[in-house]
Amino acid sequence: MSAIVAVMRLGRPVTPRLLLAVLAGVGAAACAIGLTATSAWLISRAAEQPPVFALMLAITAVRAFGIGRGVLRYAERLAAHDAAFRVLGELRGETYARLARLAPAGLAELRSGDLLARLVGDVDGLADLWLRVLLPGASAGIAAAGAVLLIGGLLPVAGAVLAITVLLTAIGGPLAAGVVGRRAERSLSPARGALAEAALETLRGAPELVALGAAARALDGVAAADRRLAAAERRSALGAGTGTLVAGLASGAAVWISLLAGIVAVRDGSLAGVALAVVVLTPIAVHEVVAPLAPAARLLPGLAASAGRVTDLLERSEPVHEPAVPADVPDGPLGLRARGLRVRYPGAGSDALGPFDLDVCAGTRAVLTGPSGSGKSTLAAACLRFLDPAAGSLTLVGADGTAAELTTLAGDDVRRAVGLCEQDPHVFDGTLGDNLRLARPGATGDEIDAALASAGLLGFVRSLPAGLDTPVGEHGALLSGGQRQRLALTRALLADVRVLVLDEPTEHLDEAAARAFVAELPTATAGRTVLVLTHRPELFTADAWTRGPELRPAT
Amino acid sequence: MNVHRRLLLAGGIAAPALALAVALGVGSTALAIAQAWLLAHVITSAFLDGAGVGAMTPALVALSLVLGARAGLGWAAELVAVRISGRVKADLRARVLAAAVALGPRLAAERSTARTALLATRGLDALDGYYARYVPQLVLALIVPLAVVVSLAFVDLVAALTVALTVPLIPVFMALIGRMSAAYRDRRWAALGRLAHRFADVVAGLPTLRAFGRADAQVATLRRVTDVYRVSTMATLRVAFLSAMVLELLSTISVALVAVGVGLRLVNGDLGLEVGLFALVLAPEAYLPLRRLGTEFHAAEEGVAAAREAFALVDETHGSRLRAGAPSGAEPPAVLAALRVEGLWVEQPGREVAAPAGLSLEVRPGEVVAITGKSGAGKSTLLGTILGFAVPTSGRVAVLGGDRTSMDVTVLDTGSWLARVAWVPQVPYLAPGTVADNVRLGAPGASDTEVADALASVGLADLPLDYAVGERGSGLSGGQRRRVGVARALARRSELLLLDEPTAGLDAEAEARVLAAVRDEARRGAAVLLVAHRPGAVAEADRTVEVRWASLAEPDAPPEDDAAARDLEAVSA
């Protein structure tokens, strides 16, 4: 529940809109209850055949309630949806902003299918917290309290019975449902997650699963996950059904006991006969107003679980500790220096890199090599301050000798100075131009063309009818492996950084293209310090390149 | 076929739900009428005649039974609806995923996998609302108003007429709502899909975004997208809720009309109190199911929209030219004597090029043929065409049997053909699980020793069999991932081995190990096609064939080189 409170706090900026929704909701519920109560009185009084003018007020009230209910309900729905969508926007923004602080090193152990389920499922689902639980709960609760006072004024026993049965419906029913279906409710969310993951994995691996003859097995796996979810849903329905049963019985009890008490009270004179119908029929309307609260209350455990997962993400500690007062990145050309550097992923049991020493002087181009698994990508992550050293130091060194250890600098400042071309670059589902301007939003056409030419992609782009406006598909699916890599290279060249780290830049390039690219690299990166991490050092033999120390698997 | 008809009638899965909903509807209607009559009777007796509890015991007992039965019926309806909904969902989900897997090789390019996964899971979950609430409510909406009007007609024609005249207006407005909310539902579902895709894409690319300092800018973009979504949704909601308001107004004003009319006739002495109260209690019951139907409509429509998309996807596979999953093709020859590619052209969707353009080659058991060519020349497409994932625009891929009979791969039974082939794509798919699980994906019967041998032959002898692999192969380096993919293919002991740059990202030593293992496979009798960039891999091959592409935008321009005219054996290393 504390997670729910934490999530509710995010709704603070939209408080006025939330209050408006509650106000309209109370009005609509009061109209519904008032319509029944006034009609019951009107008909009972009419049976005594008074002059018609004695009924005029009641007749007007009945008509007003009849109109008011529809209009106020419309206002409530609009206000509630608008407020809930706004709260949802806040929540999405907060969640993503947090993910952006954590990625990539702080999220390494999270599976992206699960991440997706968290973001879209949990966050979207939390809109129900306001739409179906908090707002209707507040309006129905206030209106029902008013009705209890009214009925209690006429016949205290009936008022008490109404109060008890309303509480039974709104709280007792869901509690009983919870007892019956608690285990099921708790297994629902993981079962849904397991199904989503099985489905996503099967779709992701579809071509190979088909080729390997393993598709039928994978689909069976999904079907098994589906059966587990269906079983959990059936158990949960049993619990949910208990809630419906309690609500139905409570409503019936309210009517029946009020009737019994009313008959007695009319006979002993403590209740006017004309009010008997009001006392008996009003509880029907009140229960109709509170009935939706039972299914809503049942959502709470699921919402609490979603809220828990979202707040867990919001409260997760960052893999990098930003300095309170960041130092300045030295001016001018920069070099890199590592001394006894060890790097470890958060939560990992052993180091991924080191101990390691390195000197790349400002303006030079260094090539580091090492076997697979020796920590090349880890070093790249450390250079961009996605990870802090576990021991030793990593330092940016200015041309004049001023040095700044990466841990004393703000991460974003580091990344303005140090750029990366990843081994598995992500290509966003958009146009070629979108993917390039990411690196430098204000880039001119000439700048983009120059970078494309340096990466050997200009001819390809010019051959496309739509040029830079050509869509690239999900994960760049409409590009070949080599084109994806060249796109990432273009992006890295376009970024205005002083140190450029290239992680396996010739991957996916054919031999001739790889040699051509390496030959052009010094010109394309002129004025920058370049650190190439590769398992193919033989490509970098020209005078422009210096060989750094070899990376070895961490000891 | 209409989506509602398919959901309610297809396969008879939902037929019991319909029957049960009707039975429960009839039962609860009868109970509602009984309850109204008993209440009216008891209240009137107590108020006008001063009757005591003792005199009305039978009526009070009957009332308690009716109230209890109504509660019990509601409970039973809910339990049954969940069972039915679960069965329909499982059936649809299995069909959607089977269709998506069959389309798999093309799916990534044309439809986002995240969107399809969302459709198969959360999307179809929305059908709960359809079966558990919408369908039972629909049945009630058909039965209850009629029953109420008929019961009222026996006692008070004026009240019966009031209800009979206003109730038919509601379906008219329902139709209006349906039309207006169609736009709402489609937009909401499309927007949800786009948002899901966008989130997945942005989250997957977070490392890249952070490297370029653009992650924070995306926060603003995402907020803006959500805001645009809210504004457009609110615009449609304003209309959708407006029609719902008219509906509610109709029903509450009608109840008010009945109450006022009954009251005035009571004053004149035209009517008894018992009848008046009966009309008052019963009149709202006529409108309640229709009103609830209006609110259930939105929840149900989300499920219907998902079902519509699911049916479309399932239908698409049936009409597709893709063979993957095609049940009854011809059996491939018992012995593979050669695989022959003849004048193969494959047009690339969205690009005005053919890649490969005019490719011919032949590979026989025991041979390693290297496939080279520039990026985008169609090397991977060639392998896809052999697998049956892509369809030749012209030319063909043929399998030659022991007696040199030639069969086009497009006519072969997919399962039987793929069982003879092992394929390693550029980025092998790794399933979450252990390394051994991944090797066994293609060879479920392989023993631990066989799995270990396959791993050792690609230089992964040090990798424990139970080493845990995360999503997208996390926990393994890029080179290890590729080699697990190769080991998986080797463990299949196939007659045809298709390798797409298996040594990219490997150091020289690992590359040599992998190439030696590939050579061993050829010695064992496999025919090997090896897409390769690097000299080491090309040198290992018996022959080299270069793949070229051609522009379709300028049809007069010759292909990069007239590869089709080249003798099959001419291009030897």
* B216 touching A (Cβ < 8 Å): yes
Q: Using an 8 Å CB-CB cutoff, list chain A residues near B418.
A: 210-213
Whether residue A120 and residue B206 make contact (CB cut-off 8 A), yes or no, is no
Closest CA to B74 of A288, A430, A107, A394: A288
- Count of other CB atoms within 10 angstroms of residue A541: 11
Q: pLDDT category, A366, cuts 50, 70, 90?
A: very high
- The answer on pLDDT for B378 being more than 80 is yes
Nearest CA distance, A185 vs chain B (angstrom): 14
Helix B215-267 vs helix B157-166: angle between axes, to the nearest 10 degrees?
160
- The answer on pLDDT for B95 being more than 80 is yes
Question: How far, CA to CA in Å, does B145 sit from each of B25, B500, B519?
Answer: 12, 68, 80
CA distance A292 to A166: 12
* Lowest-confidence segment of A407-416, A474-483, B76-85 by average pLDDT: A474-483
Best B121, B236, B265, B382 residue to mutate vs chain A (most A CBs within 10 Å): B121
Q: Which candidate from B201, B226, B418 shows the least CB-CB separation from A428?
A: B201
Q: pLDDT category, A141, cuts 50, 70, 90?
A: very high
Task: Give pLDDT, residue B566.
Answer: 32
Q: How far is CA A13 from the centre of its chain?
A: 19
Nearest CA distance, A91 vs chain B (angstrom): 10
Interface of B with A in 307-326 (CB under 8 A): 324-325
Whether residue A226 and residue B214 make contact (CB cut-off 8 A), yes or no, is no
- The answer on pLDDT for A116 being more than 60 is no
Q: What are the tokens at B474?
A: 């996390």
Q: Is the dihedral of CA B452, B455, B456, B461 positive or negative?
A: negative
Nearest CA distance, B255 vs chain A (angstrom): 8
Q: pLDDT category, B322, cuts 50, 70, 90?
A: very low
Q: pLDDT tens for residues A381-413?
A: 899 998 889 899 999 998 888 899 999 999 889
Mean pLDDT of the A255-278 span: 94
CA distance B170 to B173: 5
Specify the 3-state DSSP secondary structure of A35. helix
Q: Using an 8 Å CB-CB cutoff, list chain A residues near B255.
A: 35, 39, 66
Mean pLDDT of the A438-466 span: 86
Contacts of A535 (CB under 8 A, 6+ apart): A369, A370, A371, A372, A376, A504, B479, B505, B506, B507, B508
Could you tell me if A421 and A499 are in contact, meaning their C-beta atoms sit under 8 angstroms apart? no
Q: Using an 8 Å CB-CB cutoff, list chain B residues near A491.
A: 212
CA atoms within 13 A on the CB side of A379: 36
* B554 touching A (Cβ < 8 Å): no
Q: Using an 8 Å CB-CB cutoff, list chain B residues near A269.
A: none
Contacts of A344 (CB under 8 A, 6+ apart): A350, A351, A352, A390
ipTM score: 0.75
Task: Give pLDDT, residue B360.
Answer: 92
- Cα torsion for B43, B44, B48, B51, to the nearest 10°? -60
- DSSP label of B396: E
- For chain B, the average pLDDT equals 82
Task: Give pLDDT, residue B564.
Answer: 33
Closest CA to A66 of B287, B31, B468, B500: B287
- For residue B481, the chain A residue with the least C-alpha distance is A372
Q: pLDDT tens for residues B120-154?
A: 888 888 888 888 778 888 888 888 999 999 999 99
Q: Exposed, middle or buried by CB within 10 Å (0-12, 13-18, 19+), for B352?
A: middle
Q: Using an 8 Å CB-CB cutoff, list chain B residues near A223.
A: 90, 94
- For residue B459, the chain A residue with the least C-alpha distance is A372
Q: Is the dihedral of CA A190, A474, B429, B412 positive or negative?
A: positive
Task: Give pLDDT, residue B138.
Answer: 84
Nearest CA distance, A189 vs chain B (angstrom): 12
Q: pLDDT category, A108, cuts 50, 70, 90?
A: low
Question: How far, CA to CA in Å, does A425 sit from each of A421, A428, A461, A492, B376?
Answer: 7, 10, 19, 10, 18
Best A44, A107, A414 residue to mutate vs chain B (most B CBs within 10 Å): A44
* B468 touching A (Cβ < 8 Å): no
Task: Give pLDDT, residue B570.
Answer: 31
CA distance A410 to B386: 52
- The answer on pLDDT for B568 being more than 50 is no
Percent of chain A clearing pLDDT 90 (strictly above): 34
- Tell me the residue type at A484: R
Q: Using an 8 Å CB-CB cutoff, list chain A residues near B478.
A: 372, 423-424, 504, 507
CA distance A440 to B439: 42
Closest CA to B387 of A210, A216, A477, A217: A210
Mean pLDDT of the B540-559 span: 75
Instruction: Let me know the angle formed at the C-alpha of B521 by B516 and B524, rounded to the nearest 5 degrees.
Output: 125
Q: What is the number of CB-based contacts under 8 A between chain A and chain B? A: 489
Q: pLDDT tens for residues B484-494?
A: 999 999 999 99
Mean pLDDT of the A340-353 span: 82
CA distance B157 to B152: 7
Task: Give pLDDT, residue B323.
Answer: 42
CA distance A160 to A155: 9
Helix %, strand %, coil % of chain A (to 5): 65, 10, 25
CA distance A229 to B122: 12
Specify the 3-state DSSP secondary structure of A103. coil
Task: Give pLDDT, residue B569.
Answer: 30
Task: Give pLDDT, residue B563.
Answer: 35
Q: Are strands B527-531 and B496-500 parallel, antiparallel or unpaired?
A: parallel
Question: How far, CA to CA in Å, does A409 sit from each of A98, A403, A414, B235, B281?
Answer: 20, 11, 7, 47, 74
Best A67, A112, A329, A434 residue to mutate vs chain B (most B CBs within 10 Å): A112
List the beta bridge partners of residue A529.
A499
* B292 touching A (Cβ < 8 Å): no
Closest CA to B518 of B499, B504, B492: B499
Q: pLDDT category, B22, cuts 50, 70, 90?
A: confident
- For residue A486, the chain B residue with the least C-alpha distance is B375
Task: Give pLDDT, residue B57.
Answer: 93
Could you tell me if B371 and B531 are in contact, meaning their C-beta atoms sit under 8 angstroms apart? yes
CA distance B319 to A544: 58
Q: Using an 8 Å CB-CB cutoff, list chain A residues near B116.
A: 203
The segment with the largest mean pLDDT, out of A102-116, B52-66, B531-545, is B52-66
Q: What is the DSSP string of A294-355?
A: HHHHHHHHHHHHHHHHHHHHHHPPPSS---SSPPPPPSSSEEEEEEEEEE--TT-SS-SEEE
* B512 touching A (Cβ < 8 Å): no
Task: Give pLDDT, residue B557.
Answer: 46
Percent of chain B clearing pLDDT 70 (strictly above): 87
* Lowest-confidence segment of A371-375, B92-96, B369-373 by average pLDDT: A371-375
**Residue of B556 and B445 predicted with greater confidence:** B445
Task: Give pLDDT, residue B12.
Answer: 63
CA distance A432 to A428: 9
Q: In what order do the strands lie in the sheet with A365-369?
A: A418-421, A499-503, A529-534, A365-369, A546-547
Q: Using an 8 Å CB-CB cutoff, list chain B residues near A233.
A: 82, 86
* B573 touching A (Cβ < 8 Å): no
Task: Give pLDDT, residue A32.
Answer: 94
Q: What are the tokens at A11?
A: 């709704």
Q: Using an 8 Å CB-CB cutoff, list chain A residues near B64.
A: 252, 256
Interface of B with A in 18-37 (CB under 8 A): none
**Residue of B178 and B72 predicted with greater confidence:** B72
- The answer on pLDDT for A490 being more than 60 is yes
* Lowest-confidence segment of A25-29, A62-66, B503-507 by average pLDDT: B503-507
Q: Exposed, middle or buried by CB within 10 Å (0-12, 13-18, 19+), for A334?
A: buried
Q: Using an 8 Å CB-CB cutoff, list chain A residues near B324.
A: 210
Whether residue A508 and residue B501 make contact (CB cut-off 8 A), yes or no, is yes
Q: Which candidate from B226, B266, B441 shows the least CB-CB separation from A212?
A: B441
Q: Using an 8 Å CB-CB cutoff, list chain A residues near B13.
A: none
On the question of a cis peptide bond just before residue B136, with omega within 30 degrees of 0, the verdict is no
* Lowest-confidence segment of B73-82, B270-279, B315-324 by average pLDDT: B315-324
- Tell me the residue type at A64: A
- Tell me the residue type at B504: A
Task: Give pLDDT, residue B324.
Answer: 42
Could you tell me if B123 and B130 are in contact, meaning their C-beta atoms sit under 8 angstroms apart? no
Q: What is the 3-state secondary structure (H, E, C) of A511-537?
A: HHHHHHHHHHHHHHCCCCEEEEEECCH
Mean pLDDT of the A47-70 span: 92
Q: What is the 3-state secondary structure (H, E, C) of B195-237?
A: HHHHHHHHHHCHHHHHHCCCHHHHHHHHHHHHHHHHHHHHHHH
Closest CA to B56 of A40, A256, A43, A39: A256
Task: Give pLDDT, residue B181.
Answer: 63
- For residue B64, the chain A residue with the least C-alpha distance is A256
Mean pLDDT of the A518-541 span: 84
Q: pLDDT tens for residues B413-464?
A: 888 888 899 999 888 888 888 999 999 988 888 899 999 999 999 999 888 8
CA atoms within 13 A on the CB side of A219: 23
- The answer on pLDDT for A60 being more than 90 is yes
Mean pLDDT of the A214-219 span: 87
Percent of chain B clearing pLDDT 90 (strictly above): 27
Q: Which candidate from A86, A104, A438 shows the least CB-CB separation from B206?
A: A104
Best A55, A63, A76, A120 residue to mutate vs chain B (most B CBs within 10 Å): A120
Q: pLDDT category, B5, cuts 50, 70, 90?
A: confident
Task: Give pLDDT, residue A268.
Answer: 92
Is the pTM higher than 0.90?
A: no
Mean pLDDT of the A247-261 span: 94
Whether residue B553 and residue A266 make contact (CB cut-off 8 A), yes or no, is no
CA distance A117 to A112: 8
Nearest CA distance, A145 vs chain B (angstrom): 22
Whether residue A39 and residue B211 make contact (CB cut-off 8 A), yes or no, is no
Task: Give pLDDT, residue B553.
Answer: 66
- Tell me the residue type at A269: G
Q: Using an 8 Å CB-CB cutoff, list chain B residues near A428.
A: 201-202, 205, 208
**Residue of B420 and A492 predicted with greater confidence:** B420
- For chain A, the average pLDDT equals 86
